[in-house]
Amino acid sequence: MTEEKRKYYAGKAAALVAQMTVEEQAGQLLFSAPGLPRLNVPEYNYWNEALHGVARAGTATVFPQAIALAAIFDPDFLKEVADIIATEGRAKFNAYTAEGSREIYKGLTFWSPNVNIFRDPRWGRGHETYGEDPWLTSRLGVAFIKGLQGEGDVLKAAACAKHFAVHSGPESLRHKFDAVVNQKDLWETYLPAFEACVKEADVETVMGAYNRTLGEPCCGSVLLLKKILREKWDFKGHVTSDCWAIRDFHENHRVTNSALESAALALNAGCDVNCGCVYARMMDSYKKGLVTKEAIAQAAVRLFTARFKLGLFDGSEYDKIGLEENDSPAHNAKAIQAAEKGMVLLKNNGILPLQKGKLRSIAVIGPNADSRIALKGNYHGTPSRNVTVLEGIRDAVGENVRVYYSEGSHLYKDRVEHLGRENDRIAEAAACAKISDVTILCLGLDENLEGEEGDAGNAYASGDKKDLLLPASQLELLEAVCGTGKPVVLCLLAGSSLDLRYADEHCAAILNCWYPGALGGTAAARLLFGDVSPSGKLPVTFYRSTEDLPPFEDYAMKGRTYRYYQGEPLYPFGYGLTYGDVYAESVSAAGKVSAETGITLRVKARNAGKAATEDVLQVYIKSKDSPFAPPNPCLCAFKRISLGAGESRELEIAVDARAFTVVNDEGERVSGGKGYKLYAGFGQADSRTKALTGREAAAVEISL
């Protein structure tokens, strides 16, 4: 959106707000803003969700969870997904408003994406994010926002970068927790994605986090909301609180003494809209002299500017989008494609792809084999159709292959039937495995085991995981099925890294399906039977356990994520197998090398395998000079490509100038020096990736 158009909308908003009384203006600062009939202002509810599809407002296309979309490593594809979500959001908004329905989850201000860094695998909400890397998260966050908002003079929908900032658990402590970080970690890890969302994607909304950061509650932080967001980054949109986070100021953080003081602290820091009820006391704060009428008016203008940007008063081209665009066959086909691209093949001893013509029987076993909950992740819409892994396999093999099914175990309880004995389904599972040519074992978690604090079904209340182990019931099932001696393919449905050491040793193959969306079973079957090659990459590190990780409450990056971890992971960040054999033969600088403009690398890539496949070319960089560079090479560029069997191709990939900078101990981004080593390949340049793939990244040294 041009600056001229922005100013135009802000002017119209200011003129409208000027006609309101102070009390009317204050009333507009609640997420459920009332209508003002005398000014022809309808009611509007700012709270809506669109993490991986329009959520909580009825039928919609349910794409794979955000962490699975991240595993695609493709900003252009994610932008297409977000554009579809915006189309469905408009279709539903138009239909609902025509019926006079303007309640929660029916507006056009979507509180997505979540660009927090998934710094610790125990965090229950990590699957809402794009993983552990600031560069990957930045690129994907920008792409999602541009796709959701569009890039014209009217916003197709309004996106929201959340949760600002330094927020990634523990969930059980979030309402009173102070996330303490040093300046280097703050500016190197926790803020880059937000900065990119503001400066590059022009995100309309930023949501504050529940916790404190460096002593200040995030939704009332002068440092975050004033000094960084408004002043340093020149943010022009509006800020919303997380839901009931401002109430935490006086009830949990204890930085204020009353709701009146909390409302004032948040508003004066720059929080424009309150998801919650504390701003209902704003007029009392005003009468006490805690806030000014100018501050109230300023927040109201920002909110009405957003509504004018959306065309809610003057109309827009998007008003013609009809409900037939929602949950369409084309959109669901894109969701299946997203699931296919995002699933990560972690192990394959050659058993995959399965040959339908050579199979007489398949056992499909496990609590997630026929689970619809495990398809969706959290913050999801209502699919008109679900396809579980069991259903996808049955559809794929038809009547030609006998499919045996057993639940095998409860997801986390020690029995399926209340009156049964412990492990009451394991005998059935073992029996099915023994009479089948191969077993597809579907284990993992769902949103009831990892999710947001307070969600009704969380087995661990907080939503976080206490460790990386599968629930005990599933571990016993895994051992029993592997103990039959028949080949086992593990399909893992989960949103985070798990301890898969036993599975890695005993299973013939492991396919990480994430929470693959409503039609994820179709995608899983297509991968298992070779209709398409797996091509997803891990956006997080799969550790062997939490034993050598820092405490969950410690926000220092030392020892965390692939950039700072010094141990050997089970499966590294950026790793994922295909049915091809793609590697980088060579890499060189193409043209001028410049710290100001970045560089372009020329990479010769070859698929030495017998199957065509997509794969993700990745570039990592390590400064040879700077003491401030992370200890391990860091992702600085990536590109999804397609190669036929035996095909070789020269590719060019741009490395941004930012890659040649580092963050010092004061939080300043400075030059990383003169000498660098860059690695190009289809995974990290680490020993574990080499051991798993049998391929080593190509390298080039450059001097600026």
What is the three-class DSSP state of 523?
Answer: helix
- Which run of H or E residues covers position 178? strand 178-179
The answer to whether the CB of 203 falls within 8 A of the CB of 280 is: no
Tell me which of 242, 464, 499, 686 is the catalytic residue. 242
CB distance 540 to 576 below 8 Å: no
Two structure tokens written together for 217 = 């509650």
Q: What's the gap between Cα 390 and its chain centre?
A: 26
Per-residue burial over 166-188, b = 16 or more CB atoms within 10 Å of its CB, e = otherwise: bbbbbbbbbbebbbebbebbbbb
| Cα–Cα distance for residue pair 88/54, rounded to 1 Å | 7
Contact in structure between 71 and 342 (CB atoms under 8 Å):
yes
Please give the C-alpha separations between residue 508 and each of 119, 416, 483, 631, in angstroms, as whole numbers. 30, 27, 13, 34
For residue 470, how many other CB atoms are within 10 A of its CB?
24
Residue 460 token pair: 């661990």
Sort strands 160-164 and 205-208 into parallel, antiparallel or unpaired.
parallel
Residues 6+ apart with CB under 8 A from 33: 27, 43, 44, 45, 46, 303
Q: Which two tokens stand for residue 27?
A: 């009333």
Residue 480's H or E segment, with its range, is helix 472-482
Q: How far apart are CA 303 and CA 46, in angstroms?
A: 9
Largest CA distance in the chain: 79
| Contact between residue 475 and residue 498 where contact means Cβ atoms under 8 Å apart | no
Give the chain's radius of gyration (CA, Å). Answer: 25
Tokens of 153: 């003079």
Q: Does residue 473 sit in helix, strand or coil?
A: helix
Per the annotation, the verdict on 499 as an active-site residue is: no
Which amino acid makes up residue 397?
V
Q: Catalytic residue numbers?
A: 242
